[in-house]
Structure 1
Amino acid sequence: MGKSVFIAEKPSVAQEFAKALHVSLSRRDGYLEGGDVIVTWCVGHLVTMSYPEAYDPNLKRWSLDTIPFIPQEYKYEVLPAVKKQFDIVSSLLNREDVETIYVCTDSGREGEYIYRLVRQEAKVTGKKEKRVWIDSQTEEEIQKGIKNAKDISEYNNLSDAAYLRAKEDYLMGINFSRVLTLKYGRNVANYLHEDRASIAVGRVMTCVLGMVVKREREIRAFVKTPFYRVIGSANLEGHKFDAEWKVSEKSKYFNTPYLYNDKGFKDKEKATELLNFLSDPLPQTAVVESIERKKETKNPPLLYNLAEIQNECSKLFKISPDQTLNIIQELYEKKLVTYPRTDARVLSTAISKEINKNIAGLRNFAPVKEFASEILEKESFKGIEKTRYCNDKAITDHYAIIPTGQGFNNLGSLSQTALKTYEVICRRFLSIFYPAAIYQRVAMNLNVKDENLYASFKTLADEGYLKVAKNSFSKASKSSKSEEDEADEDINDTAFFELLKKIRKGANIDFTEFNIKEGETSPPKRYSSGSMILAMENAGQLIEDEELRAQIKGSGIGTSATRAEILKKLETKKYISIAKKTQIITPSLFGEIIYDVVANSIKALLNPELTASWEKGLTMVANGDITADEYMEKMNAFVVRRTNGVKMLNNQGMLYGLFNESAKNYKK
């Protein structure tokens, strides 16, 4: 019987596979071996795409005459820094006594690509190749993954998508960066008083830069508009509350040009006029025209995918998406959580059936042990597969990031931020086994001299999942309210709420005074590193509402595995700045100049919908909906058309005016 090679993406993962196999293995140079088993590893990418000069030495010199560069057949080469490990892996895969290769690289598009490149350059033939697909690095999951390993041919579509993604980035990077640098690099360098300037663009990177610059320019162009609201103060059996004026059809201000919106005036003069009218005389008796009492439920949010946890950690700990990814990767490698690079926010049916094991393990984690015990005692995990928290159709490669219920011996080696992040993931996970939080809400309209005053109150009737959701390290703070419920007053005074329940239509309530509250419109917010990740996930829209985000279907800009790296790359190239303390993103002057160059040459690169459509195309290839050839044909045509388009432009002089406009906003 032939030997089996298990090839992992990096040494630490290979070590976990070696442990799970329960075979006595001896350490060799670059691999482990014992009995019929060999375990080896890559060190990330061992193979890369060759630069144009590998096709023709003359292509090393950048020239408009040699682009667009579209290879008929792509060339690849082993990375010099890891050639030794590649040679070891190559010889192992091709050993005569090796019968089966178990591919244990990361379970996703990039992991598939890493192995396929090694296999291609090592010229592996005549071996059985099986793909191991796991959701966590626990021993049980690794053993299950090996047992259920499928023939590698079942992942050919995923492999095609991986190759296409690399070719796409290569073609756009080589052709667009070269044509823009050749065409505009001297102009940019002269403007910035530099010796030279390279204009680096990319399918995702340039689109994200565009989002940052557009937002910054919206903020600059924004003009604050003041508005004035009239607030009445009432007294109900010793309990004071405020009610806000809101225009109604009976109002003398209905359909007049004086209103900023239905709750405020453009000018203080008109607000004062209303205030004087309502205050004559004081106290002023109002009649309750309508009163509405209802229960409102707030369901536990969906589970974390990578984008959601990156946004959460940006808000909680002011750390970058890249730092968050490193933390989740560490938690994964220490067997504490499931696979990090996932877009799904739900469980699979398969994991739902044995989810009690994950919950049971959490009895060993002090901050949540009482909740885990309560869920097991009440068996509230039963039937989770019939809820919105389980949906096989919403899962591509992996289900949501959840705790494994294992790996607790590694807790002591975690940093404080990693430990807190783990707690956040555990609480979000356990929340879904608790009922919704229930609020009681009372809203009433009051009539004073045919003008309408509106008051709304709510109180928490049943905390439901909220008792699990609050982190042990959180400081008590008022939650930020959305615009639509900012008028709601949170009432903790039980006696007052009971009083509100008794009020009936037609009742009289006395107002003791009226005041004017001045406000002003707010400019758009700058992106933070976390909110940018969410905007990338939603194809350029910053959708802060969790429920709405869950309903958005389709591919975003980049993938869960690449988004953090894109932001890091933009910062490294000095196109953007990310404030360390706040994680707020702003463009640099250089970034704005690059934006103007692209906007006036290859504007399509700034279009989030177009960038997302390329990503969606790759997903369609991975799903077998379109062929790799169909995708490549469109990609080649796009690159050729846009590159040739730039070569024909003659707009360098016009750009200086745009550069000057941007430069006004930067201190010299």
Structure 2
Amino acid sequence: MSVSLYITEKPSVALEFAKALKIRAKRQDGYIESDDTIITWCVGHLITMSYPEAYDPALKKWSMEPLPFLPKEFLYEIIPSVKKQFQIVKNLLNRKDVTTIYVCTDSGREGEYIYRLVDQEAKVPDTKIKKRVWIDSQTEEEILRGIREAKPLSAYDNLSDAAYLRAKEDYLMGINFSRILTLKYGNSIQNFLKSKKWSAISVGRVMTCVLGMVVRREREIRNFVKTPFYRVISSFDIKNEEYTGEFTGEFRAVEGSSYFNSPLLYKENGFLKRESAEKLIKDLAKDYSKYNDDGTWNKDEASEEDLLGEITHLEKKKENKNPPLLYNLAELQNDCSRMYKISPDETLKIVQELYEKKLVTYPRTDARVLSTAVAKEIYKNIKGLEAYGKFSGFAQEIITSGTYKGLSKSRYVNDSKITDHYAIIPTGQGINGLNSVSATAQKVYETIVRRFLSIFYPPAVYRRVNITVKIGLESFFSTFRVLEEEGYFKVAGNPSAAKDKRTADKSNQEDEEEENQDKNFIKTIMSLKKGSKLPVNSLYIKEGETSPPKRYSSGTLILAMENAGQLIEDEELRAQIKGSGIGTSATRAEILNKLVKISYLELNKKTQIITPSLLGELVYEVVNASIRSLLNAELTASWEKGLTYVAEGKITKEEYMEKLEGFVARMVNGVKGLNNQLLLTRNFNEVASFYK
């Protein structure tokens, strides 16, 4: 009898395939078998790349002479802790009655690599039919569709090549660069730290670049010099039959101002010295005698006659705010870091659990849109959410109104922006499974649901009012915004709901408009007309100061890794690597986690703020003085782009490998010729002064 073998990445996934295929057989040791079907599983990676000593025992001892280490043929070995499961999988793959193999590992580069290594080491004959199952969720319908539409495994050969190259790249850079830098500079770091414990300098294609990002940000903060500035604020009387009040405006030195392009200014809306701001106030109110000791002016203490301002510009317009695009992993990790103070690694674990419980679609995705095919079936996802507590009403409203029917023509569907997987959305299934997950996981699921349902609601509509009031030659600017129609905020929540201000005085947030929900105030503002004269209540000075750059949080660092192209000054290269970023959605959290684990970075678990450690900065100094390009986003992202080109068939694996080996050899030989330990010691002392 001909038997089909399904190989998944984890036991839990194997059980879902068994349910979908209606296999009632008893679970064996490492597999499930019925008359014509076998389902087995890996447990993550079963195979790993061998260390250099497997090539030559002499390489176990680190020395400069054999570097660069560039093997012609790479060796692999079974991971000891999973040797038993590998043997089970190997035997099943090679059973004579198994004629068709369905590869059901995770649908991505890493999942592809996990199976290909097993296939390689198990020496599975090419005479067997091998098919690739590619799914976006673990619902029964999606599993059965994936099996039904499975392509020949060979259709994914380019992706497999990219997976092997990624591993070889990390291996060659890690082995060669870590060894050469440790041999050259390890003692320098150890002696400087007065450490009795020897440890290698750990570097890598992605992790060292991320270390560089954090250290450079920390140094920008250290070197930042605060600049004080002084803004002049005016307040104007407004009233009608129902309302009496005031609003404020901010001075800006626009064209026509006595201070236009003046060297006395900090930008156009502030002065470098308080005396200059005081002089402006005195000039504006020169006919009014009373000033406060701090140089400000108030009409109650000045004169019975009003100082007037004239409205010279009045703009009232509607603005639509559309629902944001759907979540990819990086966006979700950033929001969870910000809202729930959980690390990207924890977010990934949570969303992976939700995926395995059929609650959401595949989490390791870079896409923020859906495919046309998914859009056609989206009714099922929404319908399923009718069983989800407080969101059931929203799901029913969407179905009743039919707003989901136009999804395929919206900006939330774009096949060209999807590589392996579409955005993370709720499947609408497995709602009962929420009872078995943590409270934090429930919050993450709710966050995904809110973002998903919001795209079926209309935009939020604001009324914005821009006012310019002139006092003499000088202009004062005010902007107000009021929410007229909540639109998608109905489900997503209004981020500005807690705000209720009535002043354009924003301290350091110079360009932020005011959002005001006081209906009488807004009604009075809306009744103003160009040319109207308004009494000036007061003129005063608001002192501010420039702010240093913000430290990365775990979430913003993940986003910065995804958008590495923004860090690159060269416009052509930035365009070339757009969309590649540093690392992948599947690996970024793991990389950050490793940097914290080896004590190069420090993570505040309460705030999720990331800072470098002293050791991390010393390693940064070593790399900066030896293989500087490892610290740059240009190098890391361009290598990632190269892997994408291999996966797309645009370049061959041989072309990529030739460039990789050439780079590693040049860098290693360059470090051998350096003699800069003395300079590094001076740098170490300077860095250490910040850690006392």
Structure 1 residue 383: Cα displacement: 1.6
Q: Structure 1 residue 487: deviation in Å?
A: 4.5
Matched, 1:187 2:188: yes
2:250 is aligned to 244
Q: 1:501 offset after TM fit, Å?
A: 2.3
Q: Deviations over 1:95-116 (max 9, x none)?
A: 0010000001000000000000
CA contact (8 A) 2:577 2:638 kept: no
1:120 Cα deviation (Å)? Answer: 0.2
- State the 1:582 CA deviation: 0.2
Partner of 2:644: 619
Between the aligned partners of 1:475 and 1:581, the Cα distance in structure 2 is 24
Per-residue CA deviations over 1:295-319 (Å, capped at 9, x if unaligned) read 1111110000000000000001101
2:560 — aligned with what? 535
Bigger mean CA deviation after superposition, 618-627 or 476-485? 476-485
Q: Is the 8 Å Cα contact of residues 106 and 112 (structure 1) preserved in structure 2? A: yes
Deviations 1:135-192 (A, max 9, x none): 0001111111111111000000000000000000000000000000000011111111
Kindly state the Cα deviation for residue 294 of structure 1 after the two structures are TM-superposed. 1.1
The alpha-carbon deviation at position 250 of structure 1 amounts to 2.1
Cross-structure match for 1:26? 26
Where 1:665 maps in the other structure, the secondary structure is helix
Per the alignment, residue 44 of structure 2 pairs with 44
Give the AA of the match of 1:190: N
The residue type paired with residue 280 of structure 2 is L
Q: Quick one: distance in 1 between partners of 2:254 and 2:217?
A: 36
One-letter amino acid matched to 2:352: Q
The alignment-based identity, stated in percent, is 63
In structure 2, what is the equivalent of residue 278 of structure 1? 284
Q: Does the 8 Å contact 1:211/1:540 carry over to 2? A: no
> Distance in 2 between the 1:139 and 1:369 partners?
23
- Once residues 507 and 598 of structure 1 are traced to their aligned partners in structure 2, the CA distance between those partners, rounded to angstroms, is 64
| Residues 1:659 and 2:684 are matched in the alignment | yes
Match of 2:401 in 1: 378
Segment of structure 1 superposing worse, 530-539 or 185-194: 185-194
Structure 2 CA distance, aligned partners of 1:2 and 1:477? 65
Shift in alpha-carbon separation, 1:95–1:659, aligned structure 2, 3 A: same
Q: Are 2:268 and 1:262 equivalent residues in the alignment? A: yes
Deviates more, 1:480-489 or 1:109-118: 480-489
Task: Give the corresponding residue for 1:522.
Answer: 547
| 1:301 corresponding residue in structure 2 | 324
Aligned to 1:291: 314
Aligned residue type for 1:655: L
Aligned residue number for residue 17 of structure 1: 17
Residue 106 of structure 1 aligns to a residue whose secondary structure is coil
C-alpha deviations, 1:333-382, integer Å up to 9, x for none? 01000000000000000000010100011111112111111110010001
TM-score, length-normalised on structure 1?
0.96
- How far off its partner does 1:484 sit? 7.8
Mapped contact 1:294–1:441 kept (Cα < 8 A): yes
1:546-565 equivalences in 2 (<5 Å): 553-565=578-590
Deviation at 1:28?
A: 1.3
User: Residue 592 of structure 2 aligns with which residue?
Assistant: 567
1:286 and 1:240 map into 2 onto residues whose CA distance is 13
Counterpart check, 1:462 vs 2:463: no
Segment of structure 1 superposing worse, 243-252 or 608-617: 243-252
Q: CA deviation at 1:256?
A: 1.5
State the Cα deviation string for residues 278-307 of structure 1 (Å, max 9, x = none).
234333101111111111111110000000
Secondary structure, aligned partner of 2:65: helix
Aligned 8 A contact 2:174 2:204 in 1: yes
- Structure 1 position 262, deviation (Å): 0.6
Alpha-carbon distance between aligned partners in 2 of 1:629 and 1:456, rounded to the nearest angstrom: 59
Alpha-carbon separation, structure 2, partners of 1:600 and 1:380: 58
Q: What's 1:590 paired with? A: 615
Instruction: Describe the SS at the equivalent of 1:381.
Output: helix
Check whether the contact 2:577–2:641 (CA below 8 A) recurs between aligned residues: no
Partner of 2:143 in structure 1? 142
| Residues 1:479 and 1:601: Cα distance change in structure 2 (over 3 Å) | farther
SS at match of 1:25: coil
**What residue is the counterpart of 1:169 in the other structure?**
170
3-state SS in 1 of match to 2:405: coil
Q: Which residue of 2 aligns with 1:355?
A: 378
Following superposition, the deviation at residue 277 of structure 1 comes to 2.2
The aligned amino acid for 1:147 is R
Residues 551 and 611 of structure 2 are in contact (CA less than 8 Å); yes or no, is this contact kept in structure 1?
yes
Q: Could you tell me which of 368, 371, 388 is aligned with 1:365?
A: 388
CA contact (8 A) 1:538 1:552 kept: no
Using the size of structure 2 for normalisation, the TM-score is 0.93
Residue type at the aligned position of 1:511: V
CA spacing shift, 1:470–1:259, aligned 2, 3 Å: same
The answer on whether the counterparts of 2:7 and 2:104 sit within 8 Å (CA) in structure 1 is yes
Residue in 1 that maps onto 2:7: 7
Partner AA of 2:230 in structure 1: Y
Q: Which residue of 2 aligns with 1:316?
A: 339
Partner residue in 2 for 1:124? 124
Paired residues in the alignment total 660
Shift of 1:647: 0.6
Q: Are residues 482 and 20 of structure 1, via their aligned partners in 2, closer, same or farther at CA, if it must alter by over 3 Å?
A: farther
RMSD over aligned Cα atoms: 1.9
| Alignment correspondent of 1:546 | none
1:476 is displaced (CA, Å) by: 6.2
Equivalent AA in structure 2 for residue 208 of structure 1: V
* Alpha carbons 1:289, 1:447 under 8 Å: kept: yes
CA contact (8 A) 2:500 2:515 kept: no
Residue 483 of structure 1: how far off its partner (Å):
8.0
Q: Quote the residue 2:293 is aligned against.
A: none
**2:113 aligned residue:** 113
Equivalent position to 1:198, from 190, 194, 200: 200
Equivalent-residue separation in structure 1 for 2:496 and 2:195 (angstroms): 48
How many Å separate the matches in 1 of 2:199 and 2:431? Answer: 51
**Matches of 1:20 and 1:401 in 2, distance apart?**
22
Query: 5+ unaligned residues in a row in structure 1: which ranges?
Result: 544-548
8 A contact 1:455–1:487 mirrored in 2: no
Which position in structure 1 is the counterpart of 2:369?
346
Distance 1:578 1:541, change over 3 A: farther
